Amino acid sequence: MDEVNKQWETPVARINKNYATIRKTEAANRLRETNHCVQSEAQCDVNDLGNPENKILKKTLDGNKTHSFDAMFSRLGFTMRNVSSDGNCLFSAMVDQLRIRGVYEYTPRSLRTAAVNYLRQNPQLDDNTDIRNFIEGDLEDYFQKMNKDGEWGDHIVIHGLACFLKTTVKIYGCDENGMMRPHPDIIACKHKQNSTLYLGHIYGAHYISLRPHTWKEDLLKVLGGRSDSCVISGRNSDPGVAGVGGDVPDMYLSFAMMYCLKQQIIQPLVQQQIHGIPVTNFYRSYTLCKDHSDALYVGILGSNQETRSFKKDLFIIPLDTVVVDDFTSSKVHKRNQLKAVRQEDGNTINLVPEKPENWMRCLNQEQFLHHLKIPSDMMEPPRWIAFQTKMPSTERWLERSRRYGWPPNRAIYDLLTGAGFLVVPEPECSKYAWKYDFRLAEDILLAKAFTDYQKDCFKITKILLDETQVSQYLPYVCVKHAFYYQCQKTSANVWKSDPTLCLRSLLGRFISNINDACFPNFFDSTLNLMPNKLSPDERILVKQRLLIAQKHTFVCLCNAFSTPATDFEERWSRAFAAMFHRLVESMQSSDTERVLEECLIPTAVAGIQELVERERFSLAYERCTEAVEELNHVCKAELAVNYIVNLVVVPAACNVRHWLFAFYVAFVTGHYWFDAVNKDLDSVLLVDVFGEELNGLLLDTFEKKVNIPMHFIEPERICQTTFALAKVLEQCDIDEAVIAKVELEALDYVIIQLAKRTSNVCDSDITTADKIRELCADVRKRTNKKMMELASIRKDISKLQEDINRMNLICSKLREMNMQ
């Protein structure tokens, strides 16, 4: 099925050969002949195929060996950073080089303009040679051409860039065979003041940025030494400065946070690992994630932090035994009680049995219980014995001030009455040392206490800690419990209305805890979660990195989301880079309405269109609603949801996914969009292609018929349209049997259309018909299988109903006997 699906996707093999210049044509021809690659990229759409740079980004094979430039540049001390292949690659690569050095005020567009303006004012090279000697035609025509978006930069523009930035540019190139040239091209400025920038040039057609292996550490040193903004010159980045705190205005940071959160690329790095299984009436088995990781332990999709299985602790919990302290001993009634005795370090306890005779072989001379382990099979690790307990120091915890009602009462009830706390072995200290374990309680808070806005703030915080490398020193459990305290001290409305304030306040709490060398446990404030192995120098380093995250939040977000790992889809990287470019350009304007219309709305629409391209139609519509709410809040605007939806579906005339998004929104909301999206297009009735079953559903919704553009149902495209339509119907909760009938009707339609071609039949038509017949048979097979499954389910339901009737009869007889 997947192979057939690939056959009928957008015909990407049709490449536009009318390139703008002979140089571009020759570069494209070389790229088609070679088997080397720069970096894999997601499939380009039809509109991008005319750009020869896109061919560079295709991964190809030479026999069984895949060649990549990564290894070649790595040997030179660089990490390759690819940029968008849109004709602006030279300027995008230069911008990337500036940003890893702490200069964020330029975008590819503004840097292009700056270079052209410099050449206008200084039309001579360093040796006083006039640049007219290297240009054909009028000089002003050359400047106007170079100032156009998408125009390839040449060596004269690179000279202008080097002189404008007062730096040296080293360019490592490769010949047509994919071999590295022995020496880089060096373009130097006579008045050099800044560090050297490094670029790669592939086959004379595409520039890339070459980052030194230590670029992140170097950037953090630069950011740590700056108190002003890297994005807006003259702005104080100290978050404590009233009204101007942070590296960018809060409006832009809030929008960037919203965009990053809603693109569905922040993913949990570990599945929920807490499982409790009641094995018998006497004990319970638990599997807990060793480092407290949970659904809030997130990372960027495709980042170096991969979703992985964390180490686990396996415990057996006897249900007739409980650990008590001075506050709970009189309130707990179990067959066996163990008294908790605090050790001098404050973080561990000893267990003293109330009835030592039951534990004679497990005690030392001081009557302390040692660790107990149950051996298991050779294939599984052993399980430790742990004990249930109540919240330690419950009265002190309940007396704590909860001005804003966090945690909510339902979470408090579960914490106090449920099995949220354990006492587990602490083998790192001694075999008689135990400690309180709060992982089950953390799970209760995650399920019952947090709002979506609180979770979103924590996710962005986690990304910032990863980007500034704080996560290497500060355990995740410390971050979580500091977040719990912040939730307790902050109103729920503030998390929604001012996320940037909440983010900076949370980072400020981390800094305060580092200064105190104490991250108190949320459930028992006498316990310090900060690891003892953290040296004073490391604490100073962590504090510096936290200050960087607090002062340069926008810069850290930009680095995190526009610098993907190898398996991060290139088009997602381009989308995030474009978003940050738009925001940087618009920060020079103080007109909020203009910023909204020219920056924020187009950026939000582009993000939603990206979800539409991934056929996440229901999520895209949800994002339309959320975007309107966020934009109205951030900019004090009065946008309507239909306004944003209309902007998203504007390309519907040429893009089937956008047309189907309009179909989804119309089906869900009942708003008839088709007169607008089908305007000036040849179209046919949807019922003629996809059958009466779908037409009946649409008539019930709109009370009139729906047309679909003709070019979406041509034999070469109808399979792609049909599969995308099936996904729309699935997301509209349409029955699978109906969807299968729609697919069959579409395939029957195209077979009939092909049969009508009695002349000029070409091989592609015959192949199309054969593939569609195969696909038709596959759909029929799946439909028959589904019908058999439904019949089996009906049979099982019938048997269950008979069993229920018998049980009801038995129960009625038992009641009669009981009455007698």
Per cent of the chain over pLDDT 70 is 79
Task: Name the residue among 112, 132, 135 with its Cα closest to residue 124.
Answer: 132
- Give the pLDDT confidence score for residue 567 in this predicted structure: 44
Burial grade of 336 (CB within 10 A; 0-12, 13-18, 19 or more): middle
Statement: residue 361 has pLDDT above 60: yes
**Cβ contacts of 248 within 8 Å, gap of 6 or more:** 229, 231, 232, 235, 554, 583, 587
* Spatial separation of the C-alpha atoms in residues 608 and 84, rounded to whole Å: 20
213's tokens: 């292996």
User: Do the beta carbons of residue 317 and residue 282 sit within 8 Å?
Assistant: no
Average pLDDT over residues 569-595: 80
pLDDT band at 770 (very low <50, low <70, confident <90, very high): low
Query: What pLDDT sits at residue 518?
Result: 92
- Count of C-beta atoms within a 10 Å radius of residue 683: 17
Sign of the CA dihedral with 774 first, then 778, 779, and 784 last: positive
- CA–CA gap between residue 790 and residue 468 (Å, rounded): 54
Inter-residue contact 565 to 89 (CB < 8 Å): no
Question: How high is the mean pLDDT of the chain?
Answer: 79
pLDDT per residue as tens digits for the range 416-448: 887 789 999 988 888 899 999 999 899 999 999
| Eight-state DSSP code of residue 407 | S
pLDDT confidence band for 52 (50 / 70 / 90): very low
Amino acid occupying residue 422 = L
Q: Which pLDDT score is estimated for 221?
A: 93
Q: Please give the full DSSP string across 341-385, using - where no structure is assigned.
A: EE-TTSS-EEEEESSGGGGGGGB-TT-PBPP-EE---TTS--EEE
pLDDT of residue 220: 93
Q: What average pLDDT score do residues 252-256 get? A: 90
Q: Which of 73-82, 491-500, 763-772, 795-804 has the lowest mean pLDDT?
A: 763-772
pLDDT of residue 49: 31
User: Which has more pLDDT, 468 or 762?
Assistant: 468
Residue with the bigger pLDDT between 781 and 221: it is: 221
What interhelical angle do 108-121 and 570-586 show, nearest 10?
A: 60
DSSP structure class, residue 56: G
Centre a 10 Å sphere on the Cβ of residue 91 and count the other Cβ atoms it contains.
Answer: 26
Structural domains in the chain?
Answer: 22-213 (3.90.70.80), 311-448 (no CATH), 649-820 (no CATH)
Residue type (1 letter), 754:
L
Q: Is the model's pLDDT at 406 over the cut of 90?
A: yes
* 368 pLDDT higher than 80: yes
Strand pairing report for 197-202 and 168-174: parallel
The more confidently predicted of residues 103 and 63 is 103
Grade residue 544 by pLDDT with cuts at 50, 70 and 90: very high
- 217 touches 206 (CB < 8 A): no
Q: What integer is the mean pLDDT of 678-690?
A: 82
The mean pLDDT value for 642-648 works out to 89
pLDDT of residue 46: 27
List the Cα angle 134/137/138 in 5-degree steps: 100
Residue 190 or 366, more confident = 366
Q: Mean pLDDT, to the nearest integer, of 47-70?
A: 40
Instruction: State the average pLDDT over residues 245-261.
Output: 87
Q: pLDDT digits over 264-300, tens only?
A: 788 887 655 545 555 556 778 888 877 777 788 888 8
Share of the chain above pLDDT 90, in %: 27
Q: Where are the alpha helices (DSSP H) in 670-762?
A: 674-677, 686-702, 718-731, 736-755
Q: Count CB neighbours of 23 within 10 A.
A: 14
Query: Among 101-115, 196-210, 719-733, which range has the highest average pLDDT?
Result: 101-115
Mean pLDDT along residues 116-139: 86
Instruction: Give the model confidence (pLDDT) of 748-768 as tens digits.
Output: 787 777 666 544 545 555 565
Q: Does 331 score more than 70 pLDDT?
A: no
Quick one: residue 733, left, alpha or beta (phi over 0 = left, psi -120 to 50 = alpha)? left
Average pLDDT over residues 581-610: 87
Interval 126-138 mean pLDDT = 83
3-state helix, strand, coil in the chain (%, to 5): 50, 15, 35
Which pLDDT score, from 0 to 100, does residue 144 have? 92
Q: Six-digit token pair at 395?
A: 């009265």
Q: What is the pLDDT of residue 387?
A: 92
Average pLDDT over residues 724-741: 83
In 3-state terms, what secondary structure has residue 699?
Answer: helix
Tell whether the model's pLDDT for residue 709 goes beyond 60.
Answer: yes
Q: Rounded to whole angstroms, how far apart are CA atoms 387 and 338?
A: 9
What average pLDDT does range 653-667 have in this prediction?
Answer: 83
For residue 42, is pLDDT > 90? no
Tokens 């061919």, located at residue: 55
Predicted pLDDT at 175: 64
Query: What pLDDT was estimated at residue 176?
Result: 59
Alpha carbon 174 to its chain centroid, in Å, reads: 34
